[in-house]
Chains A and B, each alone.
Chain A
Amino acid sequence: MPFSLPSLPYSYNALAARGMCQETLELHHGKHHQAYVTALNGLIESKGLQGKTLEQIVAEAGRQGADGLPVLNQAGQHWNHCLFWQVMSPDGGGDKLPGHLASKINQDFGGLAQFKEAFKQAGVTQFGSGWAWLIVAPDGKLRVTKTPNGANPISTGEGTPILGCDVWEHSYYLDFRNRRPDYLQNFLDWLVNWEAVATFLQQGGMKTGQSA
């Protein structure tokens, strides 16, 4: 099938010591993400998606508003999870960011602590299912934003995501139960792959290389 589930860049138990247990990753990647991929493949013909890249599909579905939701739900979630796996690492977290990313965060947020607080707030205040994002806005500045369900800053046209955190309850319920703020804090302190985020900043975002 045209769209496929990317392998995790680490083992299912690689993040267990850092607040994301093996069962969470197995379900999240092997069941939830896989279900979005399967559903998206099932829409290619009926929605005329042939030949389009995943990024194009997400952007176009976003512009269609409510009419685009059936496609956006699956395509957006496929894209979002592709990014999510990349921006976590068994060696993630910490305060040592690659130089150009650190200075950009200092410049646009006033410091790493301020960025983390803004990102956490975005995640906590996304009511229901959704995502928190660090994006490069059209004016070149870094911004924090949030989107519901399967949407993302590509579909809303807000900018280019370089870091995303899933705040659907399936992301954290086994590890943190109802405590979403603790999950977000843990994500920022122990899981973020800052090298990957710095690479996406330099390269103008993540390209999945997948198309229908």
Chain B
Amino acid sequence: MTIAFDRRSLLRGAAGLATAWAAPRAARAQAAPPAGPFSLPPLPYPPSANEPHIDTQTMEIHHGRHHAAYVSNLNAALRDHAQLARLPLPDLLARLGEAPEAVRTALRNNGGGHANHSMFWEIMGGRGGAPSGELAEAIQRDLGGFDRMKADFNAAGLRVFGSGWVFVTVDRGGRLAIVTRPNQDTPLMEGGRVLMGNDVWEHAYYLKYQNRRADYLAAWWNVVNWEKVAARYAAAKAGTLGV
């Protein structure tokens, strides 16, 4: 399933161009016109899909309030910056240094928040298990195998002090690495690409896990959709991976 993360990256991405133009007029007319270039992608599954590991209420608030706020604040920050507003999100985030100082922090926080959460919804909704094929081989080669990857990823997520994310990055050669970023920063800001990532802001887990971030990190693997992650891995190697 392809998710319309945001209209811009689809419109600008080479792969998305034909699809977007071919979309039937009626289907497009149904969507509320966004108050800017970016829009909140619908969750690709019901908010209960990740139960019992991630509760329905957390999913609803996380997507419908937190992510929605990043989208609307991002659009607001772009209101008077037509040229920046035309950039696909990965390019906007990689070129924050060129943005006017007055909106740079808003673009960083909210653009990062939009990118991170769009990725996050995409790679969840699954049933966990283990990666396979070429992705599993890359994990073995670069991260010491799946068990080691999970342990290192969880430990890195636990070390993030305050709000932030833990990611697996992927480069054009398919090489993987585990990194963390504070707040809504993302490796996209250095021109990198994210294979997968977990949100360790307290809002991601507080209703169900409270202060027990380690338990959340461990449980989260049960909802990873490895087919989606594998598709992202293939896209990264093909140079078509967006946010």
- The chain A residues found within 8 Å of chain B, CB to CB, are 27, 31-32, 35, 69, 73, 127-130, 148-150, 168-170, 173-174, 177-178
Can you name 9 A-B pairs with beta carbons within 8 Å? A27-B211, A73-B161, A127-B183, A127-B184, A129-B202, A150-B161, A169-B206, A170-B210, A174-B206
Is B104 interfacial (CB-CB < 8 Å)?
Answer: no
Which of B61-69, B92-100, B169-177 lies at the interface?
B61-69
Confirm or deny: B162 has a beta carbon within 8 angstroms of a beta carbon on chain A.
Answer: yes
Do B66 and A178 have beta carbons less than 8 Å apart?
Answer: yes
Q: What CA separation (Å) do A168 and B184 show in the bound complex?
A: 15
Cβ-defined contact, B202 with A169, below 8 A = yes
B19 at the interface (CB under 8 A from A): no
Q: B163 interface residue, CB < 8 Å from A?
A: yes
Expressed in whole angstroms, the minimum distance between the Cβ of A76 and any Cβ of chain B is 10
Chain B's nearest CB lies how many Å from the CB of A11? 20
- Whether B65 and A177, one on each chain, are in contact in the complex, defined by CB atoms closer than 8 angstroms, is yes
Are A173 and B206 closer than 8 Å at their CB atoms? Answer: yes
Interface centre among B109, B162, B164, B183 (most CB of A within 10 A): B162
CB neighbours of B120 from chain A (8 A)? none
Q: Which residues of B contact A150 (CB under 8 A)?
A: 161-162
Per the bound structure, the CA–CA distance linking A106 and B182 in Å amounts to 37
- Contact partners of B210 in chain A: CB under 8 A: 27, 31, 170
Residues on the B chain within 8 Å of A169, using CB: 163, 201-203, 206
Q: Nearest-CB distance from A89 to chain B (Å)?
A: 24
B207 at the interface (CB under 8 A from A): yes
Chain B residue nearest to A125 (CB atoms) is: B105
